[in-house]
Structure 1
Amino acid sequence: MPIGLAEKYAQERDKRIRPDGQSQYITLHTREFQALEKDLWVDYRDLGSREPPLKDRDEVKFLIIGGGHNGLLFAYRLIEAGFKSEDICIVDIAGGFGGTWYWNRYPGLMCDIEGYIYLPLLEETGYIPRHKYSYGPEIRGQSERIAAKWNIRGLFCTKVDSQVWNDDKGRWSLEMTRSLGPGQDAVHMSVKAQFVFPAGGVLSIPKIPYSPGFEQFRSRNHVFHTSRWDYEYTGGSETNPVMVNLRNKRVAIIGTGATAIQAVPELAKWAKHLYVVQRTPSYCGERVQRETNPETWLKVADQPGWQNKRRINFNHFVTNDPVPVDLVNDGWTHTPGVAGLIGGPGIVTPERVKDHIDSLFAIDVKRAEKVRERIEREVKDTDVAEKLKPWYPGWCKRPTFNDSYLTSFNQPNVTLIDTDGKGLEGYTERGILCRGEEIEIDLLILSTGFISGGTQNPSDRLGSPIIGRDERPIANKWESGDFGNLFGMATHQYPNMFATLLTGTAGSYNMTSLYDVVARLSAHIIAEASRQAADPDNLVIEASKTAEDQYVEEVKKRSLWYSALRTCTPSYFTAEGDSLKPPKTAEEANLKSRKAGWGTGIVDYQRMVEEYIGRGENKLEGFDLRIV
């Protein structure tokens, strides 16, 4: 990389590094901000009129915590493996299926990953996405179709408060609270499950930056997070975002990540004035949306197994391991530098770290220059264009794709408030403070994302303790020198628990592909173990300590792939820089490498999993089986 560019990247990174890291944010789970987390979509009357799938003191074989793609794929793969749908129950705090696609309903919402590979189980449901990039309601609809087709039951508006393993009985005991709206008493439930599947997803806990004066401003003005879009205030709906109520409103949106990139063009159509508050600009490439026609679909769904094949093809390109034919052929597959975050072919040894980082920079710079040139072409004001240019490697912050975002800044009612990497200074009764200037507004929209699940232990991701064998909290194991897992989906001392732990698994920008690999492996292990067991109803499956230690040694061998993240500007990819802080001790360095992802990438991870599954019956190496 040119020396001048390297210096520019370093300068821009350094001005954004903050000692408080991720603690600069608070979550909407915080008591004083729970009103901002309110479920705006739930139909309490309808839910209350239905017979719940679980009641107090019930027992279920499989309990899955989370109703998004992760949880639904766990359920489907269990059913495919021969288990009954009536033995499965999904529990979710939301009012329905969908996970992040239940909560996110902001205007302009679509998935930036091709719908043909992102929507789960398209072959199995026979559903044909209407566009190459699916819009939010359609993605949520696919979750609902999956649940309906396979009779997957959901207990909604229910929070799991704790889950505790009883080793004598071979069961998980779960305490849960179900809340069916204002004026209704919360119902506390105790249930037992033979198997549990924490499936809280990667981005599920909304976060907001807390600055001085926020409470004062909020008491006099309207505020909401993009994952709780308030159409009652703005007007319109998710399917018809005609936000007429904003015609006389001054609106500020904080954030310029993947969400804001989509919402800003829609807000710009209606707001009297729109202020876009930017700390770090995003790379914004072309989207090029198109409808699915019969000719296109015949090429996509060209043979049995097409979706898995297409997913693997995509993962080859985003891990910088290209194959001769690019089936997806879009901005993602043309950006091989994003492999810096998620892994790629080849083990990086200590003496190769510099060459590894240099090679990633070399393939990334070409794409980065194209995007910066696009900004110059599309944004008329040269000063605004300069402020919208990103200066960091493409693997440091999720790249975005939109055909209208940049040109929104050509409209007279849209103003970019660039904070030069500092973020907001604070609030007043009437507005926001940026670089010493008060900007009066009527509505504040927080497009500030979510706490990254990749940096959390499973308890934090669910907001409830998980207590394993020997009464050990899983949060304790996550911070201990004996941390380990097997395949990134099972961990010793936590029997009959399977999850996408994120540590130990491979990353992909198409998370559905990872969720499905983990779900198939989990279902295989449980099904094979059940076939071997004399009494499957009292079966206990646990990753052995020897196996998980051997596995994390393989993880450690691959961990230096992620050394490229040292070059990054803070983002949720690096826990706002917290994960980049150098270890203080050898023990801390060892733990960090044990908790890394599968550095040789998701294609290699899937190959390893499929080889394990392919060994067939009586081949469950690494797992101890017993009957209680």
Structure 2
Amino acid sequence: MMLPDLAKKYAQEREKRMRPDGMNQFVDARSPLVQDLAKDPWVDYEALAAQELPVKNGDRVKFLIVGCGHNGLLFASRLIGAGFKSEDILLVDVAGGWGGTWYWNRYPGLMCDVEGYVYLPLLEETGYIPKHKYSFGHEIRGQSDRIAKKWNLQALFCTKVNEMKWDSNGAHWSVDMTRQLGTDREPTSIALKAQFVLSAGGILAVPKIPRAPGFQDFRARHHVFHTSRWDYAYTGGSQEIPDLVNLQDKRVAIIGTGATAVQAVPHLARWAKHLYVVQRTPSYCGERSQRLTTLESWKETADGTGWQERRSDNFNHMITNDPLDVDLVNDGWTDTPGGFGLIGNPEIVTPETVETHVDKALRVDAVRTEKVRARIAYEVRDPDTAEKLKPWYPSWCKRPTFNDDYLASFNRPNVTLIDTDGKGIDRFDQDGFVANGEKFEIDLLVMGTGFVSAAAHDPAERQDSKILGRDGRSIAEKWDSPDFGTLFGVASHQFPNFFAYHLQGSAHTYNMTSAFDTAAKLVAGIIAEASRTGPYAESLVIEATKEGEDRYTAEVKKRSLGASTLTICTPGYFTLDGELAKKPESATEIDMKARKAAWMTGINDFKRFIREFTDRKDLEGFTVSDGDGNVVR
């Protein structure tokens, strides 16, 4: 298909998904209306209750890390690597254990679509060898446990941060938390003082539930769960052995055909009496080609000190259309160079080159998308079903998927694709749901409907708490104000000793572990360098200056038009369900959109930029002061 025809086809399909309610078509699973769907199915309250708490009410800690997934674990391990003590670090999480999204998600077929050799954190440091090229979910969760054990990390699980407030007089954060060990125990209030807070809320944390008429009536009579809270007691099986034997007499529907559903559908199709797959927009689904790790292949992979970062950098070069001579990962991801439409590449886009930039992205991407659509036509026997499973949008608009069994599932006689042509289901009733005007009666509803986009939330919303900085300023208010900005995507003026991987101003990649690790090394380095000041270490205050923040934000804005490729996207997670595709209506809105952009010249360029900063060791852009407000550096 010629490029102009392809662009026209994409635009026609995009319009089917555009709707005025945008993100409001979903309910945050923390909402009282549906919060029971977000309860923790994995927690062992008795075991947690029997453990001695690492802190008591009123204690002071040096580092408080909010989040126990890859983001938080990397913050902790890199702080220890920079010379700080594990006993000075406390992690907290609402979950019942380590792992973040890999704690919550345990659905059948779950694996990381990025190869484990670059995705699993700290492989070189732990010496762990992944069993497969693409690691299954329980193995990834196991790596989180290994990291916590190796670095002797302490955590408060089932603990929610309610409020964090900067105390200028005490040069610390006053943190109010609640620990809830099940409904049979009274909640425990815990107040702490923390010199530093590192927010590590992750990006796939909060399930979203579709707003649809009749949903409450339906779920009052039938079983419903989100894929991130899989109910093996109902389906049978386990994450390790996903034999869903209890579904053999059940009519099952799964809503969604994104990265989660692509992995779960083959298992549901194998066991359910009948499976309905409800689709609004299909996903690109390429080959996975899973393989075991052998000693020979591992020797080639782990080829010397620093191998994991080198391999991650190589991966990031390939997916940003900035290829190297050797493709170390060599898989479907590195064969999708159009991914730079989401995560950027080294070329800076100007107003004069926007159209050229979008055309280039479409041209580079077309080879891959045509190949994947041809695969769908080959794998799916029914031509009508195959046609409905073909995506018509650039591959950077939704996360590409890779699976060797998903497409073949639609060849089974017990599997029905319900393609709603972009609209979604019409409504629920007490027996099932209506889609395309047709009623379907079911016993079980599985919601593969994904997560609230983290980019839509400020840092306080991401961890569901209040964050009040210097002079009581709310971080939520700053995130919506014309003076919004970050420094290196990890710090923000008026929020001393507060660090995070902010989606705004940071570099993005499909391998988020490498992005988290880049931020963790940067933050640990900043705090370690500032701590060399000497006797003020215990009362040290590090804060991004307004001037430093503005200089850095100008660099972000200069690169922001690299994201102009998102304006032609079908709505989805990456575009805040179409919000980012809307044309700004004022100069202020244009400026805010540019300020909140990611680092759109790619993560390897971002690493180059911050390396220049860290090599100078002058902490330019930060002030370092003692507890009395005296600048000491």
Task: Answer yes or no: is the 8 Å Cα contact 2:276–2:416 preserved in 1.
Answer: yes
1:623 alignment counterpart: 622
| Distance in 2 (alpha carbons) for counterparts of 1:165 and 1:364 | 47
Partner in structure 2 of residue 101 of structure 1: 102
Preserved contact between residue 160 and residue 174 of structure 1 (Cα < 8 Å): yes
For 1:545-566, what per-residue CA distance to the aligned partner results, in whole angstroms no more than 9, with x for missing partners? 0000010001000000000111
Taking the aligned partners of 1:488 and 1:455, their CA distance within structure 2 comes to 16
Q: Deviations over 1:329-369 (max 9, x none)?
A: 00000000011000101110111001100000001011100
Aligned-pair CA distance for 1:614:
2.2
Q: Tell me if 1:5 matches 2:1.
A: no
- Counterpart Cα distance in 1 of 2:8 and 2:451: 30
Cα distance in 2 for residues equivalent to 1:614 and 1:516: 18
Match of 1:208 in 2: 209
Q: What displacement does 1:612 show? A: 2.0
In structure 2, distance between residues paired with 1:134 and 1:172:
38
Q: Counterpart of 2:309?
A: 308
The 5 A counterparts of 1:154-303 are: 154-303=155-304
In structure 1, C-alpha distance between the alignment counterparts of 2:240 and 2:53, rounded to whole Å: 30
Amino acid at match of 2:229: R
CA distance in 2, matches of 1:302, 1:526: 31
Aligned twin of 1:131:
132
Name 1:371's counterpart in structure 2: 372
Shift of 1:34: 1.6
Q: How far 1:3 sits from its partner (Å)?
A: 2.4
SS across alignment from 2:532: helix
User: AA paired with 2:458?
Assistant: N
Report the Cα distance in structure 1 between the residues aligned to 2:85 and 2:420, rounded to whole angstroms: 55
Q: State whether structure 2 residue 465 is matched by structure 1 residue 464.
A: yes
Q: Distance in 1 between matches of 2:3 and 2:542?
A: 53
Query: C-alpha distance in 2, partners of 1:440/1:464?
Result: 40
Matching of residue 18 in structure 1 with residue 30 in structure 2: no
Root-mean-square deviation (Å): 0.7
Q: What are the residue-to-residue correspondences of 1:27-42 with 2, within 5 Å?
A: 27-42=28-43
CA–CA separation in structure 1 for the residues paired with 2:55 and 2:455: 30
How far did residue 303 of structure 1 move?
1.0
How far apart, CA to CA, are the structure 2 residues paired with 1:526 and 1:407?
52
Give a deviation string over 1:140-163, Cα, whole Å, max 9, x none. 000000000010111000000111
Matches within 5 A, 1:134-145: 134-145=135-146
- Consecutive unaligned residues in structure 1, runs of 5 or more: none
TM-score normalised according to structure 1 size: 0.99
- Please state how far the C-alpha of 1:578 moved relative to its aligned partner: 1.1
Would you say the 8 A contact 1:454–1:502 is kept in 2? yes
Question: Which residue number corresponds to residue 72 of structure 2?
Answer: 71
The separation in 2 between residues aligned to 1:308 and 1:301, in whole angstroms, is 11
- Does structure 1 conserve the Cα–Cα contact (< 8 Å) formed by 2:354 and 2:564? yes
Question: Counterparts of 1:324 and 1:432 in 2: how far apart (Å)?
Answer: 52
Q: Could you tell me how far apart the structure 2 residues matched to 1:416 and 1:467 are?
A: 48
Task: Give TM-score, length-normalised by structure 2.
Answer: 0.98
How far apart are residue 189 of structure 1 and its match? 1.2
Aligned residue identity for 1:300? T
Where does residue 511 of structure 1 map in the other structure?
Answer: 512
Q: Provide the residue aligned with 1:540 in structure 2.
A: 541
**Distance between the aligned counterparts of 1:257 and 1:27, measured in 2?**
18
Q: Aligned runs of 1:377-388 on 2, under 5 Å?
A: 377-388=378-389
Contact between 1:533 and 1:539, CA under 8 Å: does it hold in 2? no
SS of 2:497's equivalent? Answer: coil
Q: Letter of the aligned partner of 2:545 in structure 1?
A: S
- What residue in structure 1 maps to residue 630 of structure 2? none
What is the deviation of 1:435?
0.9
Please give the alpha-carbon distance, in whole angstroms, between the structure 2 residues aligned to 1:56 and 1:562.
46
Distance in 2 (CA, whole Å) between partners of 1:362 and 1:584 is 30
Tell me, what secondary structure is at the counterpart of 1:579?
helix
Displacement after TM superposition at 1:582 (Å)? 1.5
Q: Partner amino acid for 1:70?
A: N
Task: State the 1:608 CA deviation.
Answer: 1.5
CA distance in 1, matches of 2:12, 2:383: 21
Q: What letter is aligned with 1:627? A: D
Deviations 1:283-313 (A, max 9, x none): 0000000000000000000111000000000
**Counterpart of 2:220 in 1: which secondary structure?**
helix
How many correspondences in the alignment? 626
Q: Percent identity?
A: 62
Where does structure 2 lack aligned partners over 5 or more consecutive residues? 628-633
How far residue 76 of structure 1 moved from its aligned partner, in angstroms, is 0.3
Q: Which runs of 4+ in 1 moved over 6 A?
A: none
What amino acid does structure 2 have at the position aligned with 1:141? G
Instruction: For residue 177 of structure 1, report the CA deviation from its aligned partner.
Output: 0.6
